[in-house]
Amino acid sequence: MDGIIFGLDIGTTKVCALVGEIRNGQMQIIGLGQQKAEGMRKGMIIDVAQATVPIALAVEKAEQTSGYDLSQAFVSMAGEHISSTNNRGAVAFGRNGSGVTHEDIERALDAAQAISIPHNREIVHLVPRTYTLDDQEEVRSPVGLHGYRLEVEAHIVTAATPALMNLSQTMDNVGIKVEEFVLNALASAEAILDPTEMEMGVIIADIGGGTADIALYKQGVVWHTRVIPVGGFHITNDIAIGLRVPFDIAEEVKLKYGDCRPEQIDPGVVFAVEPFGGEKIQVGRQDLAYVVEARAEEIFQLVLQEIKRSGYEGLLPAGIVLTGGSAQLRGISHVAQRVLGVPARVAKPKNLVGLVDSLNSPAFSTSVGLLRWATSGHNLYRPRPRQGEIGRKIGGIFRALLPG
């Protein structure tokens, strides 16, 4: 599978399997499989057996369209269990007069990830934010530079081990090995953000069915991440309860008539809907918009809380970039701009080559971003296993050598 990359986006509402092929340094998307998700809630698997079926079907379709047998994948990750922190690590080097090497950076990152986390959590991302070389701060790439002391500030993302085990078990069920778990917002950022936005200061909000995954970028790298357990599902649920209609009818109403700008809708515009056990009723489209707007405002109030918590309120000149399936809701960027007080735009994957028409939507930002993440070098520095995990691996080797 030289030159072949496989990304598997497992969301609350859909599963998307994408196959990319590297040709002459350019990635072309050659395989696509998509299914409605099952056994998921708020970005997490709640039924492994149920979740396995649509994933297997999506993988099979991706194999058919690409012509390759797929065995390992970069897998998306979401859920309220995900958290993040920042930490520093420092090492001495250069006693023989040599410059900073990748090994020195790895040692500094090892020191940075020596944080206290519960036994049921593990580090999934270790992203260098900035370096300090002796007294020189904000060094972007220290490799080759001379000095005596290297300090790194790293962004560390952790996840609940049981949630990752459930994902891994589901992958095992369909014969796929997990190459790396990738946070949704980090993957989507690879597909939609411009380098200038990342440099100036921007926040991305990937609003899916069950979660809103956010990542704040500054100076070209990620500074803060968070998964908010509210998404398009909750808007649909509000409509279902308010109109007393089945969930699938509420979803159809949201997509067809939903809007976040009630002040722009004629109060006289109505549509017909059939509630449980009754005849069709007339519903004002403006009334529906008030319900949709209220939930959208809640989402962005939670995003605003995270911006304040990060300490970057008022320091995001590039504003907020919205993506994900629920970012297609009419007028959602207006709500974001009003609540956050920053520029807002809706984005979809850019610079696509291959199956462009099938992926030309904000709903596929994470899917495309998984392939971009795989080729971007972000996985150059991987979190190291805990000592306990290393001990178990070594113990397993020795047990394998013992006579039966």
CA distance 345 to 302: 18
CA distance 368 to 217: 19
Q: What is the pLDDT of residues 41-90, one digit of tens each?
A: 999 999 999 999 999 999 999 999 999 999 999 999 999 999 999 999 99
Q: What is the pLDDT of residues 18-44, one digit of tens each?
A: 999 988 878 999 999 999 999 999 999
Write the DSSP symbol of residue 129: E
Q: What is the pLDDT of residues 259-301, one digit of tens each?
A: 999 999 999 999 999 999 778 999 999 999 999 999 999 999 9
- CB proximity list for 379: less than 8 A, separation 6 or greater: 180, 373
Query: What's the confidence (pLDDT) of residue 385?
Result: 64
Write the DSSP symbol of residue 263: G
Q: Which residue has the higher pLDDT, 222 or 378?
A: 222
**Average of pLDDT values for 375-380?**
72
- CB proximity list for 389: less than 8 A, separation 6 or greater: none
CA distance 171 to 148: 45
Question: Sorting pLDDT into bands at 50, 70 and 90, what band is 396?
Answer: very low
- Ordered alpha helix ranges (H), 113-192: 161-173, 184-192
Query: Is the pLDDT at 324 greater than 70, yes or no?
Result: yes
**Residue labelled with tokens 């291959």:** 354
Query: Is the pLDDT at 203 greater than 90, yes or no?
Result: yes
Query: What's the confidence (pLDDT) of residue 278?
Result: 79
Q: What is the pLDDT of residues 210-242, one digit of tens each?
A: 999 999 999 999 999 999 999 999 999 999 999
Q: Which residue has the higher pLDDT, 387 or 149?
A: 149
Full set of structural domains in the chain with CATH: 84-159 (3.30.1490.110), 232-286 (3.90.640)
The pTM of this model reads 0.90
